[in-house]
Structure 1
Amino acid sequence: MGRPAPHADYDVIVVGAGPAGCAAAAALAQEAPQLSVLVVDRADFPRDKPCGDGIAHEVTQVLSDLDFDVERVFDGAAEIGELALRSPSGVQVRRQMRHRVHVAPRRIFDARLVDEVRRCGIEVRRHSARTVEVTADGVRLDSLRARVVIGADGAESVVRRAAARPRPGRVALAIRGYAPELPELAGAQYITMTDRHWPAYAWSFPIGDGRANVGYGELLGDRPLSRADLIAGMHGLMPGLATPSDLRAHRLPLSSGRPPIPDGPVLLAGDAQSMINPFTGEGIFYAVVSGELAGRAAAQALTGGGNPGLLYRAATCRRLGRHLRHTSALARLGGWPALVDAGLRAGRADQRAFDDLVRFGLADGLLTPRLLSRLRFRG
């Protein structure tokens, strides 16, 4: 580890030790091991995090590229090869995915990522961030100083609020818990949607011990949403579901309403940058990719010169720009449940179109010509 620059305690401070923060720290260690890096989080690990627990194959690829020991990270996690989808009008498709996915409770997954970051020699410390101030020579985070701060502290990001960044434009509210798998869904990931309070959906992801991570999410709008509303929505879409345990609600800032990435030494990644897929609620892929991009941008700015925010914005455009434009364009048409119906009919008719749908919803896929050519609207 290198010594911090003059007038700074650290070269980079990463706020938040979830997937986005750990990816940022690993990218910094890989890109510029001479930089001094501190990761802070308000919680000790292991700790729980409300989430669907589903981890796409593409996440594993990113972690492997960042030198995480993925065999250790996913040791004991359920591996799922089948995905079942149900559209708002009842169109159903159930197929094998091109790549198996993991379902790993965040209490285990996140703690193992933190262990991997520590293995790289990076300090991880418990600290609740409260204030962020950009100064002439860097950033002051409470009593700490850094040349760059990466905020990876979730949907309710303290860094985002303290840095006076815009709030996300589109936000969903979700609740998740754990319940015995429904027999008809055994061994498969399941996502089911409804046109009531559209867009809204429920999910069931098996965790390998006879239980599933189950939940329900809905776009926040004019209708107030209570805990009882969310639980009722879950049971309405999955009849026969037992009462879940460990129910916890959380906000999902959707990528279709993400604020722009500004110049400067304060970068946001993952949920803090509103990186949540607007159609599936998937956020772990976006978290590790945006964390990696933020870490590399910070390293390049500090070792080669340049504006960290500008470098991060350019890297995000190159890596995710087309995908995010496609999701945003489709979200603008998202009031049409018929669009989702058509997509699922395409996936039911063609395995390759189904694979395109999966990558679009779980990673960085595009609306491919093959998928678009099969979209046929009825009525």
Structure 2
Amino acid sequence: MEHWDVVVVGGGPAGAASALAARRADPSARVLVLDRVDFPRDKVCGDGVAAEALDVLAVLGIDPVAVTDGHPAVSRLRLTSPRGTTVERDTARPSHVIPRTVLDARLIAAAQDAGAVLRRHVVRQVTVHPDAVEVDGSVTAAVLIAADGAESVVRRAVGAGRNRADQLAVAIRGYGAELPGRRGVQVITTTEQRWPAYAWSFPLGDGRANIGYGELVSGGATRAGLLEGLQRLLPGVEGSQLRAHRLPLSTGRPHQPDGRVLLAGDAAALINPLTGEGIFYAVLSGALAGAASGHGAVAGAVYRRALDRRLGRHLRSSAAASRLSRWPVLMDAAFRAAAADQRVFDDVVALGLADGRLTARTLAAATRHLRPGWPA
């Protein structure tokens, strides 16, 4: 039976960041990444990469220019509230829209360049022993990092379970032409119908866009309903490669157990409940998991504390904002406040796309912009 210092299940952004961080923390560490398919491969996603995600990758030794090459920065963002309030501004820092076929291949190649070994393998069984974690009776690891996505086999194996239906979204994504009159603009349009739900169009820089629509599973989501929602919010769009995926929202993130198994990215239910953003969370949690992997039997506790220090206040803010957003009138007020004040707009964007917090400035501004008759 092979023994490795660190085994990472899943080679997406969380897995690649985990492998990079593990090798960076200990250049002698033997790191194995297991993924069910070969790269490059598609992954259903909005493809948006925030500047803060690139910051994490830079710390891990990846040149952001190499990651974004061929995919221009997008600085303009248009938001529409459930009742039709629209704000369009430049973001404090531009983001990039990079198809996962490109992004994931670049990141896992960087992990291999750093000394990690990539192997195609479908993980079916994980057994935790006092001194190691066994994978499918053929590989053991001092520490195993689960970066195997929303349907994580590893998460189930350690008893973390899955999110409740009201903490689980489902989205459909495709590729099509950019919206007329919105070239070079990221668009997020929310709706009061089947709320909370929203559609997006994120420009790729070549006249095409990543387009999609998502809503909560608890609302009775179906493929037909997702397609109808996409057409209703983005009339006339035609998308190819339309595929659906589930999004375990961070409001229901599994408890990180003590011990030798660490959960990162979607496997840890790290998806922003306001926007569905997950790549920043993936690379950040992966980096923290990889850094903690050298602690062996206590790696879980070390990682949990690091995750709470780095993201705890943000996750509590995003959960609170998600609860408040269930009242569309509050979303309208927040968007009106963002239209009136660039600083509020920046706060809202940071909360939804990075690690921002629900600030007193935003709360006060939203309160001032409430329409008469609240609550309604």
TM over 0.5: yes
**Distance in 1 (alpha carbons) for counterparts of 2:107 and 2:88:** 32
After TM superposition, the structure 1 = structure 2 runs for residues 277-288 of structure 1, keeping only pairs within 5 Å, are 277-288=272-283
Equivalent residues in 2 for 1:64-213, closer than 5 Å: 64-142=58-136, 143-169=138-164, 170-213=167-210
Q: Secondary structure at the match of 1:183?
A: coil
- How far apart are 1:317 and its partner, in Å? 0.7
| Corresponding residue for residue 230 of structure 2 | 234
Query: 1:339 offset after TM fit, Å?
Result: 1.8
Q: CA deviation at 1:163?
A: 2.3
What does the per-residue CA deviation read over 1:68-101, in whole Å, with 9 as the maximum and x for residues that have no partner? Answer: 1221121101310100000000000000111111
CA deviations 1:303-342 (Å, max 9, x no partner) are xxx6111111100110001001111122233321122112
Q: Which among 190, 211, 221 is matched to residue 225 of structure 1? A: 221
Note the residue ranges of structure 2 that are not aligned, 5 or more in a row: none
Matched, 1:324 2:315: yes
Q: Select the residue among 335, 340, 351 that pairs with 2:326.
A: 335
Residue identity opposite 2:163 in structure 1: P
Residue in structure 2 matched with residue 261 of structure 1 by the alignment: 256
Aligned length: 367
Residue 314 (1) aligns with residue 311 (2): no
Separation in 2, partners of 1:150, 1:110: 17
Match of 2:89, SS state, is strand
Over aligned residues, Cα RMSD in angstroms? 1.2
- Please give the secondary structure, in 2, of the residue aligned with 1:314: helix
Encode CA deviations 1:19-62: one digit per residue, 9 max, x unaligned.
00011111111111121110110010000000001100101101
Cα distance in 2, alignment partners of residues 297 and 365 from structure 1: 24
Q: What is the CA–CA distance in structure 2 between the aligned matches of 1:205 and 1:182, rounded to whole Å?
A: 9
AA matched with 1:109: L
**Which residue of the partner structure matches residue 374 of structure 1?**
365
Using the TM superposition, give the Cα deviation of residue 8 of structure 1 relative to its aligned residue in structure 2, in angstroms. 6.3
1:56 to 47, 50, 54: 50
68-77 vs 197-206, which moves further: 68-77
CA deviations on 1:114-137 (whole Å, 9 max, x unpaired) are 110111011111111110000121
Q: TM-score, normalised by structure 1?
A: 0.95
Following TM superposition, by how much is the alpha carbon of 1:158 offset from its aligned partner in structure 2, in angstroms?
A: 1.1
Paired-residue identity, %: 55
TM-score, structure 2 as length reference: 0.95
The answer for the alignment partner of 2:14 in structure 1 is: 20
Indicate if the aligned counterparts of 2:5 and 2:30 stay in contact, CA closer than 8 A.
Answer: yes
Residues 253 and 275, structure 1, Cα contact 8 Å, conserved in 2: yes
- Distance in 1, Cα, partners of 2:282 & 2:298: 22
The answer to whether the 8 A contact 1:204-1:212 is kept is: yes
2:288 aligns with: 293
Contact 2:13-2:282 within 8 A present in 1 as well: yes
Range 244-253 or range 163-172, more displaced: 163-172
CA distance in 1, matches of 2:221, 2:323: 22
- Once residues 168 and 132 of structure 1 are traced to their aligned partners in structure 2, the CA distance between those partners, rounded to angstroms, is 20
Higher mean displacement: 281-290 or 153-162 = 153-162
* Pairing partner for 2:350 from 349, 359, 378: 359
Corresponding residue SS for 1:174: strand
Check conservation: 2:31, 2:115, Cα contact below 8 A: no
Partner of 1:216: 213
Q: Structure 2: how far apart are the matches of 1:249 and 1:287?
A: 19
1:245 pairs, out of 228, 240, 247, with 240
CA distance in 2, matches of 1:244, 1:332: 32
What is aligned with 1:4?
none
